[in-house]
């Protein structure tokens, strides 16, 4: 069964069951198999290992998380529901067909994060916000607007790699010529005509 469903060879599975002195496998063996199958993109077998671990957790730690008894009979071999259906999440019984119209009704404004949009009336956009580099306060942090330039109303392009962390003196001197950095960030793009617009090669990247 382990060989068929979990993607391991018969000898490997037999070695583990001999070690466990019966038709059992250890949690560590299941977890290792999950990692192994996932790493070779054998997702069906990885999912089965993961679900077996999840069933064990729900069985022995019933108060963990939000799961609750479903009320389905899962204990009669061959005539009952699969063991995993013994539990359900307490949040509710909303099924996929009920979510579909909600997802279909989403607009770009619902799913594109534009944190500065609501402040434009009080604080108009200034190109100084497009400075790219490191900012220094109590700590030095990277500020790289080109990685999310669509939030500023520009067409998103493939961003360059982040620059190496500079010394504090370099951070201070960079601010003197911030307009040069802004030009470098804005030159490859243009103001967007709709929120999700991106360069042709952006999605394939």
73 & 122 share domain = no
Residues 32-67: pLDDT tens digits?
888 888 888 888 888 888 888 887 777 766 665 555
Rounded to two decimals, the pTM is 0.42
Contact 82, 74 (CB under 8 A): yes
The Cα–Cα gap between 87 and 67 comes to 6
23 & 56 share domain = yes
Domain that holds residue 151: 117-186
* Mean pLDDT (the chain, rounded): 77
Residues 74-110: pLDDT tens digits?
777 666 677 667 766 556 565 667 767 877 887 766 7
How many structural domains compose the chain? 2
124 & 56 share domain = no
């Amino acid at each position: 069964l382990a060989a068929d469903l979990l993607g391991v060879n018969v000898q490997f599975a037999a070695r583990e069951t001999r070690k466990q002195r019966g038709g059992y496998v250890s949690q560590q063996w299941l977890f290792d198999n999950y990692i192994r199958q996932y790493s070779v993109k054998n997702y069906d077998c990885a999912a089965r290992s993961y679900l077996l671990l999840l069933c064990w957790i729900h069985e022995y730690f019933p108060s963990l998380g939000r799961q609750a008894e479903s009320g389905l009979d899962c204990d009669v071999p061959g005539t009952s529901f699969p063991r995993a259906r013994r539990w359900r999440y307490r949040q509710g019984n909303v099924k996929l067909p009920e979510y579909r119209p909600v997802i279909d009704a989403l607009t770009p404004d619902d799913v594109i994060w534009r944190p500065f949009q609501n402040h434009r009336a009080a604080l108009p956009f200034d190109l100084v916000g497009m400075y790219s580099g490191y900012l220094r306060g109590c700590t030095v942090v990277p500020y790289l607007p080109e990685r999310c330039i669509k939030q500023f109303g520009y067409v998103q392009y493939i961003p360059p790699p982040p620059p190496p962390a500079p010394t504090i003196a370099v951070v201070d001197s960079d601010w003197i010529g911030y307009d040069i950095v802004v030009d470098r960030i804005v030159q490859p793009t243009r103001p967007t005509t709709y929120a999700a617009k991106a360069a042709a090669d952006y999605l394939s990247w």
